[in-house]
Amino acid sequence: MNEHLNFDCFLGKRIHLGVCGSVAAYKSLDLLRMFRKAGIEVSVTLTDGAQEFIKGLSFEALGAFKVWERMFPTLDDTFGHLEPGQAADAMLIVPATASMLARMAHGLADEMLSCQSLAFRGRKLVAPAMNPAMWDAPATVDNCSVLAGRGVEFIGPDCGDVACGDHGKGRMAPLEAIYAAGLRAVAPDDMSDRHVLITLGPTREKWDAVRFWSNPSSGMMGASIAMAAWLRGAKVTVVSGPVNWWFPDDVEVIRVDSAQQMFDASMDVWPVCNTGCLTAAVADFKPVPHGEGKFKKEGRSSLGVEFECNPDILKTLGSIKREDQQLIGFAAETSNIMEAARGKLERKNLDMIVANPVNLPGAGFGASTNSVYVLDRAGRSEEWPNLPKTEIAWRIWDHLLLN
């Protein structure tokens, strides 16, 4: 369930992908495909070790525009060892072996990838993969700390089973983590001064031991907005209803069930945030609980359930909003969309509201696209065409940053 990572607004960016000799090498093919789908140009260098596991031709077939396999390729490519440093926006080494980390730490340039790495001044990321004993070895520990001190970013490794049957730290990070880190390395860093609170998903309002009141919100809109903010450098806190979107390790995710729990978590976090975007489909009402245990149907031909109001999280955050904070709300509407949205923008003291007509094909709950109207405090109002939710997420931040 990673549709919230389907950003394709990276046209004109280029990543240089280095691949080392490890059983995890084949995964870099998927990574190449994912970057290509996001509109990113990818060039590749395979070390000798990598070529034992995988062929350069596979990368070419999947859309790499250039693949290097050895140090002194041909006469018309005399400066291949410098080219990525001159033209790529970021360099990712996936998987990175212990020997590649050692070469990088010591400035060796005795084969193509380490030479290209030495000549690369831009952002460098490595996704190590190796046996836990090699990862824990003092030499590797020292090399990693030298590289981290020079600004090389590490993605993983994770704990788990490794290829040789051992268990421990050394398994390559999951592809989505490497992919997201790669996107962030080439994304604009225009939200790094922001700590963003996002609410997403439905809430569940318990009635008896086995039943609850809820709605079919998938949380995809909020998950896309959270990822877009993270990619653009923001610190992100997500308060998530009962849905299960993947987020990078440094996104704080607070999992809740009910509207009251979402309210409590959001109120806790809001004072330390400067931006809020509340996308959750919060149940406005909760059933008055039946009591302990399961309600029995025997002897009944109908059922009346009484409801009471839930707190309005958006309105409450708006009412305590400080000068240095900005707040975005969503509104699902059936008629008079602009008018209703403008009213909510004022009443809830928002900086921006994103309204969508419900029951349109390709919009709202569960869809991966949406059709929205955007209104803001400065009086601007726009109607956006039907777009992927990830694209809407990106544009929402563009719009807010204009203010």
Residues that bind ligand C5P (CB under 6 A): 199, 259, 278-280, 282, 284, 310, 312-314, 329-331, 344
**Nearest distance from C-beta of residue 210 to ligand C5P, angstroms:** 24
**Nearest distance from C-beta of residue 352 to ligand C5P, angstroms:** 11
Helices (H), ranges, 194-277: 220-231, 259-269
- According to DSSP, the β-strands at 235-240 and 252-255 are parallel
Nearer to ligand C5P, 219 or 388 (CB): 219
Nearer to ligand C5P, 181 or 259 (CB): 259
Six token digits for residue 14: 């280029």
Nearer to ligand C5P, 158 or 312 (CB): 312
- According to DSSP, the β-strands at 352-357 and 326-333 are parallel
**Nearest distance from C-beta of residue 120 to ligand C5P, angstroms:** 43
Nearer to ligand C5P, 104 or 269 (CB): 269
**Nearest distance from C-beta of residue 96 to ligand C5P, angstroms:** 41
Catalytic residue IDs: 164
**Nearest distance from C-beta of residue 312 to ligand C5P, angstroms:** 4
Collapse the DSSP code of 343 into the 3-class scheme (helix H, G, I; strand E, B; otherwise coil) and give the result. Answer: helix
Contact 233, 9 (CB under 8 A): no
Q: Where are the beta strands (DSSP E) in 279-380?
A: 285-287, 307-309, 326-333, 352-357, 369-370, 373-376
Nearer to ligand C5P, 220 or 259 (CB): 259
Cα dihedral 42→43→48→52 (10° resolution): 40
Q: For residue 217, report the phi and psi dihedrals to the nearest 5 degrees.
A: -55, 135
Residue nearest to ligand C5P (CB): 313
- Closest by Cα among 161, 83, 84, 104 to 129: 161
Contact 375, 355 (CB under 8 A): yes
